[in-house]
Amino acid sequence: MNPETILEKVCRALDIAIGLGANYEGLFPSIIDRSTHQMMVDMPPAIAGQRDGDRSHLGCNLIHDQAALQAMYALARALGRPDYARAADRYLQRFATHCTNTITGIFPWGEHAYWHLVEDRVADSYQLREGAGSSKTTHDHLRQAPLWLWEKLHAFNPDCVERFAEGIDGHWTAGEPLEYIRHAYIDEKRPYVRGARSCDFPRHGGFYIFDWAFAHLQTGRTDFVEQIATMLDYWWQKRDGLGLLQAESRSPADDENFYRINAPGQTLSLGVSLLESAALITGALPDLAARMRERAAVYIEGFLKAPHDLQRGIYVLLSHRDSNEVKGTMAVWGSVYGNWPACYVALLALCGHRLCTHPGLFEWAAAVGDRYIETDFPADINVPAMDAGLGLGLLADLYDLTGETRWLDGGVALAEQLMEIYMDGELPRGASGIDWYESQMGPSFLLHGLARIALLARDGRPCILAADYTAR
């Protein structure tokens, strides 16, 4: 397929989102009818593995949209479309100046909160669940906010960035010993209540460290540095002999899904977030940056020591802490809540490789890339658009790094297939086999991946559109 054809389809989808966003001060609705190009009033049924409490019905979710916004900035330069940059700026300015003035300073974005476009307020995704009772609006980062996004938000409203960094202190829970949870209250300044499980998840610790690192550089506030140091030590003392971290640090002994269960991908996520944070602060805080890199190296080696079998295509999602035996594996296609496809982690491995030139990380990612070239796309399940986009993004990044044509050829072939499955209309399907667009399923990543492979095929490397490594 001609790369120009792919770019035309991507641009048409963006044009529709921008046009619809004009009704909401530039913000993009989360759920859109592909035939009418209007925001859907009635929420369609969840697909298998999707939770209603993670959706953004009648609203907008920046964490869902950021990959498409990144693509818009790049396409503005690559295609001579300054209107794309203006539209992305309008979206982010509206969010930064209108949607962030919460009681805690924490943004309504991520897994359980969003901005309600109809009622112009913070919205609680938990209220979308059948039979939902009263709840407090809850923050969950969902994915790491990339540097370019923090820079944009800071340019439009520096105060919102500082208040957010202050607010995520609310993820620390009350009690002893020190413990945090991936959830925090958006509409109330008090610690989140501890439950039977810690639900702290290593990857979220990395997200907060990166947030605090950026905020410190902008403000000079030493309390953000103190928070970084506390979080850095929090997980360091919880690693096992391999350097692996548990999916959560505290679980009941009878919980076979979490008790003494390591999470190699989350261990890698924290390690890579430390490398990214170190790159940010190395000039201002060289000693702290060096400590981050040293600990990241241990986490990376831990990830690689998990019982993956690259030859057999076994990519370990979870492993038993005491035996290092496989507890759960990543699929190639088809994510559900709590189970990442291998492309997510392979892209993260490439991010780590770019930051520390680690052959083991590259080998792991390349082995996964081969699987995405060799494995047929499933016809019997609903595959979220995010999986498709990141699978494509993996092949694009392997080509961007190596210049090996097999990655570009494989990426273009996959793009052609994905265009037929997801882009048979003007807006991408939220998942294969469904007939609506939904941001929570990740069409933002699909548009990003299609644009990146098309630009590489058209213009060569390096690509003007950078990889997206936020899905971790």
pLDDT in tens, 89-118: 999 999 999 999 999 999 999 999 999 999
Q: What is the mean pLDDT of the chain?
A: 97
Q: Which of 347, 132, 323 is nearest to 242 (CA)?
A: 323
Collapsed DSSP state (helix, strand, coil) of residue 143: coil
User: Is residue 334 within 8 Å of residue 380, measured between CB atoms?
Assistant: no
Residue 342's pLDDT is 98
Residue 76's pLDDT is 98
Give the tens place of pLDDT for each residue, 200-255: 999 999 999 999 999 999 999 999 999 999 999 999 999 999 999 999 999 999 99
Proportion of the chain above pLDDT 90, given as a percent? 97
Q: Is 471 a residue whose pLDDT tops 80?
A: yes
Give the tens place of pLDDT for each residue, 306-333: 999 999 999 999 999 999 999 999 999 9
Q: What is the mean pLDDT of residues 287-294?
A: 98
3-42+51-194+330-459 has CATH 3.40.50.800 classification:
no
According to DSSP, the residues that pair with 339 across neighbouring strands are 336
Residue 135's pLDDT is 85
Residue 176's pLDDT is 92
Residue 1's pLDDT is 77
The domain spans of the chain are: 3-42+51-194+330-459
Q: What's the rounded Cα separation, in Å, for the pair 186 and 101?
A: 10
User: Is residue 399 within 8 Å of residue 458, measured between CB atoms?
Assistant: no
Q: What's the rounded Cα separation, in Å, for the pair 179 and 201?
A: 11
Q: What is the mean pLDDT of residues 335-359?
A: 96
Residue 80's pLDDT is 98
Residue 132's pLDDT is 84
Q: What is the pTM of this model?
A: 0.98
DSSP state string for 38-87: SB-SSPPPPPTT--GGG--TTEE-HHHHHHHHHHHHHHHHHTT-HHHHHH
Proportion of the chain above pLDDT 70, given as a percent? 100
Q: Is 325 exposed, middle or buried (0-12, 13-18, 19+ CB in 10 A)?
A: exposed
Q: Is 440 a residue whose pLDDT tops 90?
A: yes
